[in-house]
């Protein structure tokens, strides 16, 4: 029986919707026609069909509109001076997402996409821009009705995130901006003296921080979707010389409650942990604790921002781990970092840093070392390097979901031989951390006693695993 000479466009469209990117030969076989018929049929689609690759290995994919937001967007990067450049273009297709690089593809791209730039699912470098944590939920609730999105960002599909990013993604973690409208807002804010930030004069922390905490608790202070469940807000400190420092400020509940007192202790402990790590080059120095308005505040510099307008690219271990499809546990930084090292994404120095942080976190009772709490600088080079540590605190002693303070005892895992050298160094740092917490008069008597007991336990472990 001869093959038909003509074919309806709808037949090709349906095959590409169901099968994703297909070669002309695969389409011809599926539809019972010859390749020349397929070639003529594809030509009728114009720009609605994208050719991936060339010659016989070329595949064809049908564009997939995301609601009314379109099917392609530029991705811009904001550099440390605040200047924007087009970095790539994102195309949504049936069967995946196409990344079209504006220049040479980054050296890590071949590990994350196929040779034509196709990604199955959501591009990993945009994964951390989904609203998440305390601030993310605030932001999602603010835009949900306007953008017709679920109020809880944990319920968002990939298309929901794209709708959000191309409409509202002007001030998100890292240095990427998706779409022209958000970039125009970025550039417009740069014309303002403070770049649109909530500015707190250096001498006004004690009055402004409690006001901002009250606004954030009431859901009235806009901010980017920085991750983490601890209540927080974003602002910029204006120093006496006029320079602006973007900051993230965590805050406790009222310290008159048992739960609030414990969170205040944990914020003080986090400041000590960051100080100990900063002295070893693994965190940003200058974390500050302030008691004001009946709350405790922990102020830390944002490592993804430079001055009033500059930005730096970051990517979480969570996004990298998902992109590599390496599987395994999602709470073991060390094992995940070893997988990154095997793939050539981080080097020996980066792996050592992660081992130090993982061991230190275990020895100070950080029971919340999920993959969103470790990040790497993301630029167009390899190896990826760890960012300064953040969210490093003894969460083992956090109040439970009912707000109750429960007695707990530090019981870290003994070190394995392969990481013993890094563990010994981290154990020394942990001992210093517990000494500082135990000596801190702003910490409650009960938690200072916990710090002394935990420090003694770490000392016994150090003796057991001494060289």
Q: What is the pLDDT of residues 344-387, one digit of tens each?
A: 999 999 999 999 999 999 999 999 999 999 999 999 999 999 99
| Whether pLDDT at 325 is above 80 | no
Pick the CATH number of 9-62 from 3.40.50.300, 1.10.10.10, 3.30.70.100, 1.20.1250.20: 1.10.10.10
Cα distance between residue 284 and residue 301, in whole Å: 7
Question: Sign of dihedral through CA atoms 152, 158, 159, 164?
Answer: positive
**Known catalytic residues?**
368
- Bigger pLDDT: 64 or 111? 64
Average pLDDT of the segment spanning 439-462: 98
Which residues partner with 300 through β-bridges? 248
Q: In the prediction, which pLDDT does 194 show?
A: 61
The mean pLDDT value for 230-235 works out to 90
Out of 83-92, 226-235, 322-331, the most confident range is 83-92
> Would you say 283 and 341 are in contact if contact means Cβ atoms under 8 Å apart?
no
Q: How far apart are CA 327 and CA 329, in angstroms?
A: 7
- Name every residue whose Cβ is closer than 8 Å to that of residue 434 and which is 6 or more positions away in sequence: 364, 451, 452, 454, 455, 458
Tell me which of 71-85, 213-227, 285-299 is least confident: 213-227
> What mean pLDDT is predicted for residues 38-62?
92
pLDDT recorded at residue 452: 98
- The reported pLDDT for the residue numbered 298 is 98
pLDDT tens figures, 159-216? 999 999 999 999 999 999 999 999 999 999 888 766 667 999 999 999 999 999 999 8
Annotated domain spans of the chain: 9-62, 72-190
Query: What is the maximal distance between C-alpha atoms in the chain?
Result: 91
Return the pLDDT at 266. Answer: 98
Residue 1: predicted pLDDT: 47
Which of 101-115, 194-208, 217-231 is predicted least confidently? 217-231
Share of the chain above pLDDT 90, in %: 81
Flag whether pLDDT at 398 surpasses 70.
Answer: yes
pLDDT for res 308: 87
Q: pLDDT value at position 329?
A: 58
State residue 261's pLDDT score. Answer: 97
**What was the pLDDT predicted at 403?**
87
pLDDT of 3 higher than 60: no
- Note the pLDDT of residue 138: 85
Mean pLDDT, the chain, rounded, equals 92
Mean pLDDT value of segment 238-257: 93
**pLDDT at residue 446, as a whole number:** 97
pLDDT over 60 (residue 4): no
| 66-75, 240-249, 369-378, 428-437: segment of lowest average pLDDT | 240-249
pLDDT at 217 over 70: yes
Query: Is pLDDT of 327 > 70?
Result: no
Per-residue pLDDT for 279 more than 90? yes
Residue 14 token pair? 């349906």
Q: What is the mean pLDDT of residues 68-85?
A: 96
pLDDT tops 50 at residue 409: yes
């Amino acid at each position: 029986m001869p093959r038909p000479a003509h074919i309806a466009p709808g037949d090709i469209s349906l095959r590409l919707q169901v099968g994703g990117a297909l070669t002309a030969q695969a389409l011809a076989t599926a539809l019972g026609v010859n390749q020349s018929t397929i070639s003529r049929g594809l030509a009728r689609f114009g720009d609605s069909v994208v050719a991936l690759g060339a010659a016989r290995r070329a595949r064809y994919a049908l564009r997939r509109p995301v609601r009314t937001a379109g099917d392609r967007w530029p991705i811009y990067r904001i550099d440390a001076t605040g200047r924007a450049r087009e970095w790539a273009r994102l195309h949504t297709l049936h069967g995946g997402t196409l990344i079209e690089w504006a220049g040479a593809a980054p050296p890590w791209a071949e590990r994350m996409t196929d040779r034509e730039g196709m990604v199955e699912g959501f591009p990993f470098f945009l994964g951390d821009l989904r609203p998440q944590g305390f601030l993310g939920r605030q932001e999602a609730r603010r835009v949900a009705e306007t953008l017709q999105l679920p109020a809880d960002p944990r319920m968002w599909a990939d298309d929901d995130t794209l709708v959000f990013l191309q409409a509202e993604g002007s001030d998100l973690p890292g240095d990427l901006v998706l779409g022209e409208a958000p970039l125009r807002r970025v550039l417009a804010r740069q014309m303002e003296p403070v770049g649109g930030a909530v500015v707190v004069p250096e001498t006004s922390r004690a009055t402004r921080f409690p006001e901002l905490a009250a606004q954030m608790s009431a859901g009235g202070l806009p901010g980017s979707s920085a991750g983490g469940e601890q209540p927080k807000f974003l602002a910029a400190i204006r120093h006496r010389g006029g320079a602006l420092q973007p900051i993230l400020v965590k805050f406790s509940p009222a310290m008159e409650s048992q739960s609030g007192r414990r969170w205040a202790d944990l914020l003080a402990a986090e400041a000590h942990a960051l100080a100990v790590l900063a002295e070893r080059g693994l965190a940003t120095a200058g974390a500050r604790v302030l008691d004001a308005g009946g709350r405790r505040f922990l102020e830390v510099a944002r490592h993804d921002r430079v001055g009033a307008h500059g930005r730096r690219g970051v990517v979480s271990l969570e996004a990298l781990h998902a992109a590599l499809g390496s599987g395994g546990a999602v709470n073991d930084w060390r094992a995940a970092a070893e997988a990154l090292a095997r793939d050539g994404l981080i080097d020996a120095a980066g792996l050592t840093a992660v081992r130090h942080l993982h061991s230190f976190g275990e020895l100070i009772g950080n029971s919340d070392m999920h993959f969103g709490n470790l990040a790497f600088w993301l630029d167009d080079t390899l190896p990826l390097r760890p960012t300064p540590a953040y969210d490093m605190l003894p969460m083992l002693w956090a109040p439970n979901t009912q707000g109750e303070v429960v007695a707990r005892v530090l019981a870290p895992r003994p070190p394995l031989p392969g990481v013993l050298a890094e563990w010994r160094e981290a154990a020394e740092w942990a001992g210093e951390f517990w000494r500082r917490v135990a000596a801190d008069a702003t910490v409650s008597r009960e938690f200072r006693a916990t710090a002394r007991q935990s420090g003694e336990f770490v000392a016994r472990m150090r003796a057991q695993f001494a060289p």
